[in-house]
Amino acid sequence: MADFDLDAYFARIGYGGPATPNLETLAAVQAAQVAAIPFENLNPLMGLPVNLDPESLQAKLVKSRRGGYCFELNGLFKAALKAMDFQVTGLAGRVRWMAAADAPLGGRSHMLLKVDLAEGPYLADAGFGAHLLDAPLKLQADIEQSTPWARYRLTDAGDALTLYVRMADEWRSVYLFNLEPQLAADYETYSWFTATHPRSLFVNYLIAERLTETARYNLVNTRIVERGRDGSAVERTVSSAAELGEVLDAVFNIEPPDSADAVFAKLNAAAS
């Protein structure tokens, strides 16, 4: 993306460090992006298009107070890393979050990145909205990796890798993927299905997440949970359109594409 505005991106995520393509920079930029640019699916929820072209990504995620879902967030992340001369490959995953171990595989509905560094290949992901990752992970199976927020491991089944995160006393599967590079056309296809299928989560539920240095914020429809690093959790229910607007503004730094009244009405209609 030759016309990527790296300075504007750095200003948006509050990053003032070097642009050297190494592990330290990769980790710092990923943490800064997930803290500043939230996961949110307001466009699919409100029947608006999701545009993945470079200009649209920068206009929505950098120049506006908006977030996006994985194809947007990791599309932007990939463009920023390329502008810093990282060696980046776009991959695709099949989401396993909350799925039973014997549940059939779903389609490729998640975008993630492989970044090749001097230390070897790393998994970088700033867009998994069910559980945002705060740091890149070494792309190596059967080792436990700790970040400031969680413990992870990868397993290798020969034709695919599965990412797991430790939740309480169990390992929970996140997504399954292989190392086949994806084209922009692949992501357009995956994203169109995810944003328009009538049974898609993103068409029927409001989902938002933001991960800062001190708290993880999750919103599903009108239920918001704030989690601390110590495992504490505070949950409450958003009871009005005005309160929803305040939450989107103050907690997630989102200016919705439609009024908070319209978003709240959409949620009430879906629940009825």
pLDDT, one tens digit per residue, over 166-199 is 998 899 999 999 999 999 999 999 999 999 999 9
- The neighbouring-strand residues paired with 154 are 163
Answer yes or no: are the C-beta atoms of 61 and 68 closer than 8 Å.
yes
Per-residue confidence at 271, pLDDT binned at 50, 70, 90? confident
Inter-CA distances, 159 with 93, 135, 155, 177, 217, Å: 13, 25, 11, 9, 34
CA-CA distance, 86 to 97, in Å (whole number)? 29
Domains of the chain, start order? 198-271 (3.30.2140.10)
Amino acid at 125: D
Q: Is the whole model's pTM more than 0.85, yes or no?
A: yes
Burial state string for 186-225 with b = 16 or more CB within 10 A and e = fewer than 16:
ebeebbeebbeeeebbbbbbbbbbbbeeeebbbbebbebe
Q: Is 159 helix (H, G, I), strand (E, B) or coil?
A: coil
Q: What is the pLDDT of residues 30-80, one digit of tens each?
A: 999 999 999 999 999 999 999 999 999 999 999 999 999 999 999 999 999
What local confidence, expressed as pLDDT, does residue 2 receive?
A: 59
Strand intervals (E) in the chain: 39-40, 87-95, 110-117, 120-124, 137-138, 144-146, 151-156, 161-167, 170-177, 207-211, 215-220, 223-228, 233-237
Q: Strand 207-211 to strand 39-40: parallel, antiparallel, or no bridges (unpaired)? A: antiparallel
- Per the prediction, the chain carries an average pLDDT of 96
The CA-to-CA distance between both ends of the chain, in Å, stands at: 44
User: Tokens 């110590």 belong to which residue?
Assistant: 230
- What are the residue numbers of the active site? 70, 110, 125
Query: Within a 13 Å sphere around the CA of 132, how many CA atoms are in the beta-carbon half?
Result: 33
Answer yes or no: are the C-beta atoms of 54 and 150 closer than 8 Å.
no
pLDDT at position 1 over 80: no
